Structure 1
Amino acid sequence: MKVAVVAANGKAGRLIVKEAVERGMDVTAVVRGENKTASKNSLIKDIFDINKEDLAGFDVVVDAAGAWTPETVHVVPDAVKHLAGLLRGTDKRLLVVGGAGSLFVNPDHTQTVADVTPFPAEAMPVLNAHKEALAELRKYNDVKWTYVSPAGDFQADGERTGKYILGGEELKLNSKGESVISYADYALSMVDEIASGKHIKERISVVSE
């Protein structure tokens, strides 16, 4: 299986590349500068310069783009729009590193984590950017997309336990009543989805056991 990981030099991207390479997948890191990932294959390009020909040889494209400042958060939904636009009408799959703020907290799906949690004002642009990205994906009926939301406490330096609980549209807590997952276990879940392709046109979520 040939996989392109876009924004592969980021914390999530690097771990996804590492997990996929260790699983024997043919991975290309798409980066803007020097390739800092475990993959020997790289494409040096800005996200918004990627074209259809660049993605022609891949089975799966992973969008690992992240941004955390008011000036850059537009990259999150804009990257989704750009990549989905390139892949529409093809059999290639698009997997997106998502956010937790848009997970629902009630069975009626009328309230989200962002609606009921007192996040600091500076966090809202990031939450809204990921929410917008998911809303954009839902518009594409001709793209085989999957949006993967992490748990609320997404720990960049957390350990890889090799285990996680798969959820859906609603916030799921683990056996300790926590919403937490490490980047490493999230990467594991992402590569599992790359391998299985079980959740086409769905948002899924993951939490540690």
Structure 2
Amino acid sequence: MKIAIIGANGKAGSCILNEAMERGIDVLAIARKEVVNSKKNLIKDAYDLNYDDIKDYDVIIDALGFFTPETLNNHTTSLMHLTKILADKPNRLLVVGGAGSLYVDKEHTVQVKDGEDFPEVFKPLATAQANQLLEIRNVNNVNWTYVSPAADFQADGEKTGKYILAGEEFKLNSKGESIISYKDYAVAMIDLAVNGGHNKERVSVVREA
């Protein structure tokens, strides 16, 4: 198993990188500057990547994050660049997604971000990630999986190693919480990378109570 992580120096990407390395996986860190704790680095902008850069890796993880108003659209454009270079290729693509696009109804017509109590400050990011998901749903020639975290995605949360793998709908644990740490999210992401499945699907993860 060989994994390449794009955006390996970000908060989510670095946790995913550490989890992969702890398991002894051959992992390549891809970022615009060196990731100092990685054994293998490719210093390159995501938009400059080509298939030769990642062809030897079974799974490519898109952990890119964009948070300023002028960069939010990069969630979609950078992902579409990756789908173009992976078109009709055997490699799998796992995407670090958002929670705002999870559905709160069985008919899948209302998303978390549409709720009246959804924080206004997070709506632009949630909308950008929802648009990203819409775009990749139309990609049929790439082996992609989109992985949404719980609503409370904690950068400094502890690692428990326990999580619930859910689907398209907003999921609460037995304590009525929608919460997961970046470290537990990384556990789930590497499990998905190793175990396979969920091709052309969106899944979600929440910490077990």
Check whether the contact 1:158–1:182 (CA below 8 A) recurs between aligned residues.
Answer: yes
The number of equivalent residue pairs is 208
Any idea what SS the aligned residue of 1:53 has? helix
Match of 2:95 in 1: 96
**Per-residue deviation at 1:204?**
0.3
**Per-residue deviation at 1:124?**
1.7
Q: Deviations over 1:72-106 (max 9, x none)?
A: 11221111101111101011000000000000001
Any idea what SS the aligned residue of 2:8 has? coil
TM-score, normalising length from structure 2? 0.97
CA distance in 2, matches of 1:35, 1:184: 18
Cα 1:180/1:51, change in 2 over 3 Å: same
Match of 2:5 in 1: 5
More off after superposition, 131-140 vs 91-100: 131-140
**Per-residue deviation at 1:108?**
0.8
Q: Which runs of 4+ in 1 moved over 2 A?
A: 117-122
1:195 pairs with 2:197:
no
CA distance in 1, matches of 2:19, 2:35: 16
**1:155-194 maps to which residues of 2 (within 5 A)?**
155-194=154-193
More off after superposition, 73-82 vs 11-20: 73-82
**Per-residue deviation at 1:119?**
3.0
Match of 1:73 in 2: 72
Check whether the contact 1:63–1:79 (CA below 8 A) recurs between aligned residues.
Answer: no
CA distance in 2, matches of 1:114, 1:4: 30
**RMSD (Å) for aligned C-alpha atoms:** 1.0
Q: Deviations over 1:127-170 (max 9, x none)?
A: 11111111111111110000000000000000001100110000
Match of 1:106 in 2: 105
1:132 pairs with 2:131:
yes
Match of 1:17 in 2: 17
Letter in 2 for 1:26: D
Letter in 1 for 2:152: D
